[in-house]
Amino acid sequence: MQIDINSDLGESFGAYKIGQDEAVIPMVSSVNVACGFHGGDPLVIRKTVEMAKRYGVAVGAHPGFPDLQGFGRRNMYLHPDDVYASMIYQIGAVRAFTDLYNLPLQHVKPHGAINNMAAVDMDLARILAQAIYDYDKNLILLAVAGTKLAQAGREVGLQVANEVFADRTYEPDGTLRNRKYPDALIRDPVVAARRVVEMVKDRVLVAIDGSKISVQPDSVCLHGDGEAAVAIARTLREELTNHGIEIRPLLDVQP
């Protein structure tokens, strides 16, 4: 049994440091690199890709809304052409540096609000999926399991990897609980790790109301900017290994 562990990194920009990238990256198998719109800048992208190569970690692009002030977590309603072009632009930014370091670009995982909106809005989901396919149909779309985005990716012909979250709680419909609620984040490393093992081994996740949702996870996300990110990453690796679950990048996990 195998699972990918991914983390959102490279979100610092200019004089502003965000996350614990150097401590988290050795403990994951794939990284989602911010593309400069919600976080990241050319130097940070380069350093993050170089660090991924050093640790043997697969690289994906993490495009978001053009919203540095809101960290890409505010809903925006843009013209479809703007959304499409911004996806191409951002993926290309990360691809430039993976090419520089002779690394493949493994996947694309949309960030924050655009990801959450595309999870329930099929029109937006199809724009994102089409942009990724048009840029490179061999890229894996990393999408929250059971969402419109995952469905749109499969419709257009992309290989889709189902994502679950180590440090987030879920609504009964399978969507992530909004961060405005105090119970949206899981900060206890042991609780987070045990939930992930249950998802991977038993193919089930427990929603905030106690109901159970069937899942088939390919990748588990932990957020590199969380206070407990390093502790969760370390505990998660230990717990998965103790249960005989091998940690591998998406290209190895996907059939």
Compute φ and ψ for 191, nearest 5 degrees: -60, -45
pLDDT of 150 over the 90 cut: yes
118-137 pLDDT, tens digit per residue, is 999 999 999 999 999 999 99
Task: Please give the backbone phi and psi of residue 77, each rounded to the nearest 5 degrees, phi first.
Answer: -120, 90
Judge contact between 59 and 106, C-beta under 8 A: yes
Task: Quickly tell me which residue has 């889709």 as its tokens.
Answer: 160
Q: Tell me, what's the pLDDT at 106?
A: 98
More confident residue, 1 or 98: 98
- For residue 123, what pLDDT is reported? 98
Backbone angles phi, psi at 99, to 5 degrees: -65, -40
CA 16 to CA 208: how far, in whole Å? Answer: 34
Q: What is the pLDDT of residue 90?
A: 99
Phi and psi at residue 176, to the nearest 5°: -70, 140
**Number of CB atoms found within 10 A of residue 16's CB:** 11
- Confidence check: pLDDT of 107 > 90: yes
pLDDT for 37 beyond 70? yes
Nearest to 5 by CA among 239, 210, 255: 239
170: left (phi over 0), alpha (psi -120 to 50) or beta: beta
Instruction: Give the C-alpha distances (Å, rounded to integers) separating 131 from 31, 66, 83.
Output: 20, 16, 9
Q: What is the CATH number of the domain that holds 118?
A: 3.20.20.370
Q: What pLDDT, in 10s, does the model give residues 69-97?
A: 999 999 999 999 999 999 999 999 999 99
Q: Give the model's confidence band at 181: pLDDT under 50 very low, under 70 low, under 90 confident, else very high.
A: very high
Per-residue pLDDT at 253: 85
Residue pLDDT, tens place only, 13-33? 999 999 889 999 999 999 999
**Where does the pLDDT of residue 255 fall: very low under 50, low under 70, confident under 90, or very high at 90 and above?**
low
pLDDT the model gives residue 229: 84
Closest alpha carbon to 34 in 75, 65, 64:
64
* pLDDT for 176: 87
195-254 residue pLDDT tens: 999 999 999 999 999 999 999 999 999 876 667 888 999 999 999 999 999 999 998 987
Q: What is the pLDDT of residue 214?
A: 93
Q: Which domain holds residue 14?
A: 2-253
DSSP assignment of 25-49 equals GGG-SEEEEE-SSSS--HHHHHHHH
What is the model's pLDDT at position 175? Answer: 86
> What is the tally of structural domains in the chain?
1
- The span from the CA of 117 to the CA of 114, in Å, is 5
Structure confidence at residue 146 (pLDDT): 87
For residue 226, the model assigns a pLDDT of 67
The count of C-alpha atoms lying within 13 angstroms of the C-alpha of 236, restricted to the half-sphere facing its C-beta, is: 36
Poorest-confidence range of 112-116, 131-135, 175-179, 200-204?
Answer: 175-179
Which pLDDT does position 221 carry in this prediction? Answer: 93
Q: Which of 6, 2, 70, 10 is nearest to 36 (CA)?
A: 10
